[in-house]
Each structure stands twice: as structure tokens, then as C-alpha cells.
Amino acid sequence: MSACCPEMVRNPAFDAPHVGDPLDVAFDAGVNLAYAIAAPTVPPRLTEHSRRMAQRIYRVAERVYCAVGYAIANIIFVVGDDGIVVVDATEAVSAAKRIYADFCAIDPRHAELPVKAVVYTHNHTDHTGGVRAFVDEAALEAGRVEIIAHRTLMDTVINNANLVAPILATRSAYSFGTLLPPGATGKVNAGIGPVLIAEPASFFAPTRVFDDTLDITLAGVRFEFRYAPSEADDEIVMWLPDLGVLLSAEVIQGECLANVHTLRGTRYRDPVRWYQTIDMMRAFNAAHMVPAHGRPVSGAAAVADVLTVYRDAIQFIHDQTIRHMNLGLTPDELAEAIPALPPHLAQHAWLGEYYGTVKHSVRQVYSGQLGWFDGDPASLDPLPRAERSRRMVEMMGGHDAVRAAAHVALGDQDWRWAAELATLLVRVDVDDAEARGIKANALRELGYRTENTNWRNWYLSAARELERAYEELPFAGSSSLASTDVLRAQPLRNVLQRLSVCIDPTRCADLHATLVLRITDRDETFALELRRGVLQIHERAISANADATDLTLALDTAALYALLRDCATQLPLALESGSIKLEHGTREQAVAFFDSFDRPARRMPALAGR
């Protein structure tokens, strides 16, 4: 998927009010990659939020620098006696290199100090993807640099890269507006940062991991690492006791309300663990706090204030959701019963709903506690939604009547109702151009009026989808979350696991076959046993049974990665070229085995136009 380069919009760097002591700007690039110009299609508070994202490097305390506004996430540098510790790497190598160049321009001595360690505060790509700006294979092999993370980080990387990468890639594009043009009628900012830079992510697996605590000296600076489950289960924070600095990672998601749930999709974010983590951080009594998104905060009172209101907002969302759940309310009813934070929290500078919202957070608390079922047995086995929509349209007087009502709703600026009516028509006939246009217009108007960037980007991206703007876009499926670096960093067994979720059971309903893969450059052997629609991965060859058809392929890891992109297409090409050798069985049997797998999607999954 392509994305507009952030250099296309280089607004002046506005000064914006901040919380805490005055910020020490060590480097000012003089630009802002967010769209920070007032416009009628952008709520004023959202424009104000963009103005907090000027591209600058702040000197937080002795030895500690924070680069804000170069990408969606910050990079933090801790300057030691004989080297530098890099905390997070943004999503893009290009942004990380630019940050490092500006950091070295602050003081030439920075360029003379080697990078001793890189810290991944958690697994998200916007914190790991730029790592090759600071590390390469040679440095890792020689032990000149280490990568530090929580022990569970790789588990999540593997899951996202191998199992749900295609749908996560699409939903992430909608959430962050990577398919939208920047500007007043497109993406304005990314909520927690100015823009998500879309380019292939680099990655190296951690070389040092820990469970709960790790107290260590890096480049002569004392670090106290602490496990900090919050917006990610593998989150870590760092306390620098000699400097009074708390590196708060994404436990604090910048100058906006936390995304207690993310619309792009993720596993349950437990709000109780989250606010308890913040309570642990409050106990440090830090003089400075440096988050992974947004500007730093200095002054013990200001840091304490931000941490306190942040945890209170999360607890309020959790507690009030549970309170109303116990009264029997369902997810949609919860969103109406708890539409916002109380005023003393909602008006705080660090709790604007630019990234998280109360309305979409309360729904996820319900789901995390009770699951999808709303308690009404009519929801257990409803009619298929296309059939249900057809009957509703018929009952409402037919397509023409519903279409007319949708036009009236547009004229009355009743955008939500117009979108709902048009959705019924689209679900009955996805090629109904007029209905698609009504829904697109309604969603676009909703997008222009929301302060939340996730909602805005989703509304506007869906409008363009309905107008068929994405149908000719190349879709790489999982590649945005499963780059070559990510594949190389994980065990092959996990890489192969992605095949198990690509089985079409109708193609192999009567097939029980075993395929042995001999990986020549790693001296590893795996057996893929396909049992009538279920694929089991064995970490060694297994003996054939009477019902199984044995095949053996010999290939190296490069050929394996190529095969995984499109099994049915790549197999005959690789057999022809010799990059894959058939050592046992017939070519026809091999083709039949791989015919059981889905062909890769050439278009993004439809989200709104279906």
C-alpha cells in the first residue's frame, strides 16, 4: 500500500501551551508534519492538538534528549560516559536517521559515541521499525550493542506477523489514515504523533530480555527497568534514579486520552493492570517524565498531576463500565450511558479524546469481561446480515423508499442516520452506486466533525473505499507487519504457522497428507501434516501412516520465504528453477497439497462496502 510522504505537508512549527516547566529546545527543525492550519473541515481543538507536534529535540535533563514530531513515535537518547542508549526507534529507518543526524548536530560529541544499547519499550512497529538506523548484524554478532526488551515481546511480534497480519494491515491503514492525502479534507495528525510513516520496517530480535525487573548500568548510566503492562502486554518503563527521569514508554500515550481500546484491533487491554502500572510509576516521584509519544513533562508537581489524572481517567472508564454492565447494559447502551469523562478530567490538557475515546473504550471493557454476547438470545443465531438487511429494506417500503429517506437525512445533516440507511442498501447490493455515494458522503461529514483522529481517519478512509478508490491499489497482505527482518528474527516453526490459517477446508476435505520440509541452510526439518482441513506443524519428520501421502521438499530459508508469499504460484516456479527440490513424491502430489491453501488477496479486504 502506498502512502503520501510526510514531506508533502511541512507546516510552520507553532508553539503550543504545555504542562510543566518550560521545555529546553535543543534542536528546532522549524516544521510540523501534522496539519496545523485552521480549516472548517477540522475541529478547532484538533488543529490545536496538531500544534503540539512541532519537530523538535528537547533536552529533558542532563544526558536525556527526546525527539518529537519526526514520526508517530519519539526517540529518546540517553548520553552515557562511553556511549548512547537509544530508547525506541520509531516506525521508519528514514525518520530514525534524520533524528540521529539532528541529535548529532546538537553536539558533535554525540556522533563520536557509539550506540551501546537499543531498548524496545514494547512490540509495536512504531517503536521498533527504525532500528537499522542504529544497529546492524555485524554489531550484534560482535556484541558491541544489545537490544533490550520484555521476555514476551517476540510472542506478540510472531502472532501479529504470522496470523492476523493481513487484516491488521488494512485496519491499521484506516486507523492511521495512511491511505488519505494530508490536509484539511484528509489526515490531520495521528493522535499520538504527527504522522505514521509508511515504509518497510526493520527489526532485530532482542538480545537481552527480562521478566519483572532489570537493574543495570548502561554506558555508565544506571537504569531500573520495570515491567509495565498497559496498552501492550509486553510494555516496559525505565527509571533513571541518578537523573530523576522516568521514561514512561506508551503507558502514557502522549497528550491525549489513552486508547483503552484500539480500533485497528488488538488483544484485550486490561484497564485495571494499566492504572495499577501508573500507580507503580507514581511512586518514583519523578522530576521529569519522557513519554514515547508527545512532549516531555518537567517539574515533580506537573509529572505527578499528569500521572494521576491519566490513571483516574482509565479507572473511571473501567469502573463506570462495570457499574453499568451490572445493571444489564449492552455495549451500545454503555456508549450512550458513559459518553465522556467527567469535566475535571475531560478538560485536562492530557486527556483530550484525540486518540482514545470513552465511547469506544467502554465497549471493549464489556467484551473483555463478558465476550461478544449481549445477553439477548436473539443475538445467538441471527439471520445473515445481507438477508436481514434485505428484509428490513422490503419492510421499509423497498429500495427507492429507503434511498429517499437517506437523501432526506443527508439534507437534514442527520449524518449517522443517513449512513445507517445507506448501509442497509449496500449490504443488499454492494454495487449500488447511489447507496455507496450516500454512505460515503455521510461518513465524510462525520469525519470532518470528530476530534478523534482514529474516528476521523476511519470515516474518511471508508468514504474513499465506498467510492472505490482502493480497488486498484496493490495489497501486500502481511508484508507491512511481516517484513523480511521480522521473518528472520523468529523460529521457522512460527513462520510456518501462518500456513495453518490459510487452509481452505473445501479443497482438502478428503485429503490426509504429510509434507516434509528439509531446510538445507539451517539443518532443520519440519513435517506439515494436513488432516482434512487442519494443518499441524511438527518440528521433525514423522512416519507416514496408511492414509497419508508422503512428500519431501528440500529448500533454503530464502526459498521458503518466497514460497510463503503465494504457495500455489511459487511452487511450480521454484521446482522449475531448482530453488526447491522434490526429493520424495510426485510433482502432482505437491501441487495438490499446496492447492489446499488460499491464494493471497490482491485487494484490501472491504470494510465499509460490504
Same domain, 542 and 413: no
320 domain residue, yes or no: no
Same domain, 417 and 503: no
**Tally of CA atoms within 13 A in the half-sphere of 601 that contains its CB:** 19
Are 119 and 131 a contacting pair, CB within 8 Å?
no
Check which CATH number belongs to the domain holding 428 and give it: 1.25.40.880
- CA angle at residue 396 from 433 to 385, to 5 degrees? 65
- Tell me the C-alpha to C-alpha distance, in Å, between residue 319 and each of 106, 145, 314, 323, 324: 46, 44, 9, 6, 9
599 domain residue, yes or no: no
Same domain, 191 and 284: yes
Q: In what order do the strands lie in the sheet with 56-61?
A: 24-28, 56-61, 64-68, 75-79, 84-87, 115-119, 146-150, 208-210
Same domain, 508 and 547: yes
List Cβ neighbours of 203 (8 Å cut-off, separation of 6 or more).
128, 129, 131, 157, 483, 485, 486, 489
Same domain, 102 and 220: yes
The owner of cell 473504550 is 361
137 domain residue, yes or no: yes
Asked which of 284, 311, 338 is the last residue of a domain, the reply is 311
pLDDT at 422: 98
CA 100 distance to own-chain centroid: 24
pLDDT at 477: 62
284 domain residue, yes or no: yes
pLDDT at 355: 97
Q: What is the Cα–Cα distance from 463 to 439, expressed in whole angstroms?
A: 7
365 domain residue, yes or no: no
The owner of cell 475541529 is 43
pTM higher than 0.85, yes or no? Answer: yes
Same domain, 113 and 197: yes
Query: CA 19, 20, 24, 25: dihedral to nearest 10 degrees?
Result: 0
pLDDT at 543: 57
pLDDT at 551: 93
551 domain residue, yes or no: yes
Domains in the chain: how many in total? 3
Q: What is the Cα–Cα distance from 117 to 216, expressed in whole angstroms?
A: 12
The owner of cell 483516574 is 312
Asked which of 311, 326, 349 is the last residue of a domain, the reply is 311
pLDDT at 9: 47
Boundaries of domain holding 496: 491-594
Low-confidence residues in the chain, pLDDT < 70: 1-14, 476-482, 541-549
11 domain residue, yes or no: yes
Cell readout for 517 is 520440509
Same domain, 434 and 504: no
483 domain residue, yes or no: no
Check which CATH number belongs to the domain holding 581 and give it: 3.30.1050.10
Same domain, 18 and 156: yes
Query: CA 50, 54, 60, 62: dihedral to nearest 10 degrees?
Result: 170
pLDDT at 486: 87
Same domain, 411 and 514: no
Same domain, 395 and 539: no
Check which CATH number belongs to the domain holding 291 and give it: 3.60.15.30
Asked which of 276, 292, 311 is the last residue of a domain, the reply is 311
pLDDT at 473: 87
| Percent of residues in the chain assigned helix, strand, coil, to nearest 5 | 40, 20, 45
Same domain, 447 and 530: no
Same domain, 212 and 258: yes
